[in-house]
Amino acid sequence: MFKKKKRNELDFYYLSKDNKRVHKKKKHPKKKLKKKNPEPMNDNMFDIDNEIVIGVTVLPDKKKSVQNNKKRKKKKGQAKKNKNNKRQPDFDISDDMINRTYNRNNQNNYKKKRKKYKKISPDEERKRKIRKQKRLKIIKFILKLLLFIAIIAGILAFLFVSPVFNIKDIEVSGNNKINAEEIKSLSTLSLDQNIFKFSKENVDNGIKQNAYIETVEITRKLPNKVEIKVTERTPAYQIKFGNAYAYIDENGNILEINDEDLKLPLLTGYNTTEDNLKPGNKLSEEDIAKLTTVNIIIKAAKTNELYDKITSVDISNDEEYKLELKDEKKTAYLGDATNINDRMLLLKEILSKEQGNEGEIFINDLEKVFFREKV
């Protein structure tokens, strides 16, 4: 390409390439033809940018030369920097490779976004809401529970530390046989002890060490009072134990061993060993079963006003209970406890008829009731 020239700088005539070609073709004509009326020359006839000018020097454009010099200096400076820097490996990366990697990255990003922003069905969204609500409920419940525990812990700390709740009075009720001081001693409670620092179970077991105590009821009267209500066992029978007597209640509990004769019905024919006859123990299971029948007999005797006349009850045979009537000098054979009221009426009638006579009364068979006098 030739540099363009301004038209005002041209002060000569020149020929275009096309005119040269025409001239060459017409160089050797057979006949020289003269142009009669040549066309006048003007600027529009020539393409100055695409013309070859003969014998004319083209003056350089100052602005473009300055720009070219600047570009050359920049290139030299860049070349020096590249020499100083480490040589980078050359990679021949084509436009197709760049486009392929760009498209691949776009596809991966699209897939990730698609997975991330995947459409959720209404059912799945509803399930997620339900799960979220459940989690919130659980969190709220845990927070409330922790708050409740903290409040309870604070209250307990106050109750166990404050001197306001130290015991100032211990009241005992329901006792007849055992005195109050002994019950207080067995309870292990003491004054100025915190009212919340004792176990009711331990106090109950301590008081029940006395065989006469059947039940114990403990009540805390805030701020500083404790009430102990007891129920005592009552001796119903006695057993001869050497020169003493073992007192026994209706359930077969051995209450006490004492020299005093309480004038209670004496049990004979029992199977409990003497080693087991200790306060706090019970009669053997066989004797306790027989004692149930004896309780029925004694109850019927009280109803018919015969209880005071019974001295002892022989329980050796559970099919033949014998009553010893010492003051009447008689022995009654009852059999079992069936129709016990009828038997007691018959016994009462015979005692009145045979008053003062020593002998035996047989009412074990209601069809053959008789009295046999001792000879």
What CATH fold (topology level) applies to the domain 164-232? Ubiquitin-like (UB roll) (3.10.20)
- Spell out the domain ranges in the chain: 1-26+43-54, 130-161, 164-232, 237-373
Please give the structure tokens belonging to residue 95: 């436009």
Q: What is the pLDDT of residue 14?
A: 43
Please list the ranges in the chain whose pLDDT falls under 50: 1-36, 46, 53, 55-56, 86-91
Mean pLDDT taken over the chain: 80
Q: What is the pLDDT of residue 75?
A: 63
Q: Check: CATH 3.30.450 for 237-373?
A: no
Q: What is the pLDDT of residue 251?
A: 95
Predicted TM-score (pTM) of this structure: 0.60
Q: What is the pLDDT of residue 341?
A: 93
Fold match flag (164-232 vs 237-373): no
Q: What is the pLDDT of residue 142?
A: 94
Q: What is the 3-state secondary structure (H, E, C) of the chain?
A: CCCCCCHHHCCCCCCCHHHHHHHHHCCCCCCCCCCCCCCCCCHHHCCHHHCCCCCCCCCCCHHHHHHHHHHHHHHHHHHHHHHHCCCCCCCCCCHHHHHHHHHHHHHHHHHHHHHHCCCCCHHHHHHHHHHHHHHHHHHHHHHHHHHHHHHHHHHHHHHHHCHHHECCEEEEECCCCCCHHHHHHHHCCCCCCECCCCCHHHHHHHHCCCCCEEEEEEEEECCCEEEEEEEECCCCEEEEECCEEEEECCCCEEEEEECCCCCCCEEECCCCCHHHCCCCCECCHHHHHHHHHHHHHHHHHHHCCCHHHCCEEECCCCCCEEEEECCCCEEEEEECCCCHHHHHHHHHHHHHHCCCCCEEEECCCCCCCEEEECC
